[in-house]
Structure 1
Amino acid sequence: MSREQNNTIRNSINAKLIETGERERLREALQLKLVECGWTKEVTAHCQEIVKKRGFENISIDELVAELVPKSRALVPNQVKKELLESIRLFLAKQNNL
């Protein structure tokens, strides 16, 4: 599958998720799971560490985000990723059966 086809499919799925309100429900469920597993505390601590190391006056929001995002993504537990993917698969399966 080409990158263009992949993007088209991804955009179509995202549009369906938004249209049905499922995206917001999934976002809320993900947010809750990330709090429950301690991810938000870890990311907050990492953010504070970066600011402390670089100095509040010496770092912009964009720089902080650029440094924080890769580690934050890596810290998401595999189980949480699997559950979110399964929820999306179930949603798509239900959409195809309608």
Structure 2
Amino acid sequence: MADYPDRKVRDAQMRATINQKLVETGEKERLKELLRTKLIECGWRDQLKAYCKEVVRQKGLEHITVDDLVAEITPKGRALVPDSVKKELLQRIRTFLAQQSNI
């Protein structure tokens, strides 16, 4: 277990390197656009919008802040993302990483 902190540091460095490559190549923006499109197509956006309206109705507009609303809807928003969308995004990231020889 002695190398646990070192592993955490290496993992963080690897995530930073991968993120940098995604940004540099423009792949991060392409993935974000793909995700946005898929979430609209599957009705996720409409479901979350309806849920937001319900939360605001229940709590009252004058009693809820944007931060409160975000905290309330984030877990549900994540849970509503279809597995097929998650899998497609993950596969795209894996493909991208496989094409990068210097990571």
When normalised by structure 1's length, the TM-score is 0.93
Runs of at least 5 residues in structure 1 that lack an aligned partner in the other structure: none
Q: Deviations 1:6-58 (Å, cap 9, x if unpaired)? A: 22211111111001100000100110000000000111011011000000010
Match of 1:36 among 34, 41, 55: 41
Residue type at the aligned position of 1:42: Q
Match of 2:66 among 61, 65, 88: 61
Instruction: Note the C-alpha offset of 1:95.
Output: 1.2
Give the share of equivalent positions with the same residue, in percent: 54
Aligned Cα root-mean-square deviation (Å): 1.3
**Higher relative contact order structure (alpha carbons within 8 Å, sequence separation ≥ 6):** 2
Deviation above 3 Å: which 4+ runs of structure 1?
Answer: none
Q: Which residue of 2 aligns with 1:14?
A: 19
**1:51 equivalent in alignment to 2:60:** no
Find the structure with the greater CA-based Rg.
2
Runs of at least 5 residues in structure 2 that lack an aligned partner in the other structure: none
